[in-house]
């Protein structure tokens, strides 16, 4: 069975005081929880790992540099992330693709850098509102999968997050049928490129305005194995019911 995963992306929110949410979340987790990952801002990674000790909650970063080291002022390498105790790193989030002009090939290199450091890459893809309204979603997704996923992907080194850009932070969510269509399409594309064994193992997350009140519906989709959650991951009281819905699915 594929593993289920709930990942919280705190983005540029929170300070060390917010790490108390990890302890609070731990107390609210179901008895048999799915995998839970919290991705705080980079300066909090080490302390987040300490705070999560013994809770079963894993820590991830929100981005890494594609090079292992060097003269890249302000950037963070995957090995530095791994050194904090984190196990995951998000790459290719639409906010990075947009604000930092990251292209598919950059995302592909970052995924490889993550693997080289022993991290699992959470590779994000998703279409703009314009592409969604022009019915170009599947073409965009196919292009991003082809360009952002390295050939060396395995069933264990990668998680893929489908995040329609128009759904992020907007409260708008695709219909269940639309989510099913895209996730089935992604699974089929993975199978064609990597074979059924690998394709069946890679968790596919949905992301974009996942909230306690819509999570159970989204998790009905057979090829949705979890969620990448922004706003609703900041507070344990919001994230816990989403994790519960995933455990129940
Ligand atoms: P949101 O963000 O849940 O606040 O929409 C999701 C994301 O950007 O990963």
Q: Which band of pLDDT confidence, cut at 50, 70 and 90, is reported for residue 226? A: very high
Q: Is 92 in the pocket of ligand 1 (CB under 6 A)?
A: no
Ligand 1 centroid from CA 206, angstroms: 10
Q: Is 229 in the pocket of ligand 1 (CB under 6 A)?
A: yes
pLDDT value at residue 1: 76
As a whole number, the mean pLDDT across the chain is 97
| pLDDT tens digits, 23-61 | 999 999 999 999 999 999 999 999 999 999 999 999 999
Model's pTM, two decimal places?
0.98
Q: Are 70 and 41 in contact (CB under 8 A)?
A: no
| pLDDT tens digits, 112-161 | 999 999 999 999 999 999 999 999 999 999 999 999 999 999 999 999 99
Atom of ligand 1 nearest to the CA of 232: 3
From the candidate CATH numbers 3.30.70.920, 3.40.50.720, 3.20.20.70, 2.60.120.10, the one assigned to the domain spanning 5-21+38-124+133-248: 3.20.20.70
Identify which of 92, 93, 206, 229 to mutate to test ligand 1's pocket (most ligand atoms within 8 A of the CB).
229
């Amino acid at each position: 069975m594929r593993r289920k995963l709930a990942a919280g992306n705190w983005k540029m929110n929170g300070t060390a005081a917010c790490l108390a949410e990890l302890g609070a979340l731990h107390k609210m987790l179901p008895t048999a929880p799915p995998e839970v990952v919290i991705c705080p801002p980079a300066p909090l990674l080490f302390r987040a790992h300490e705070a999560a000790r013994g809770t079963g909650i894993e820590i991830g970063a929100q981005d890494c540099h594609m090079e292992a080291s060097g003269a890249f002022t302000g950037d963070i390498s995957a090995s530095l992330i791994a050194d904090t105790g984190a196990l995951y790193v998000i790459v290719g989030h639409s906010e990075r693709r947009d604000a930092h002009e990251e292209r598919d090939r950059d995302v592909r290199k970052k995924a490889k850098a993550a693997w080289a450091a022993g991290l699992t890459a959470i590779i994000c893809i998703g279409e703009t509102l314009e592409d969604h309204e022009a019915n170009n979603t599947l073409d965009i997704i196919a292009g991003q999968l082809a360009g952002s996923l390295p050939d060396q992907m395995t069933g264990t080194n990668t998680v893929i997050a489908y995040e329609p850009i128009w759904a992020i932070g907007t409260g708008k969510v695709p219909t269940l049928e639309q989510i099913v269509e895209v996730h089935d399409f992604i699974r089929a594309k993975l199978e064609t490129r990597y074979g059924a064994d690998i394709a069946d193992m890679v968790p596919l997350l949905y992301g974009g305005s996942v909230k306690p009140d819509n999570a159970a519906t989204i998790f009905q989709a057979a090829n949705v194995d979890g969620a990448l959650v922004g706003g609703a991951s900041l507070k344990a009281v919001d994230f816990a019911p989403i994790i519960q819905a995933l455990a129940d699915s």
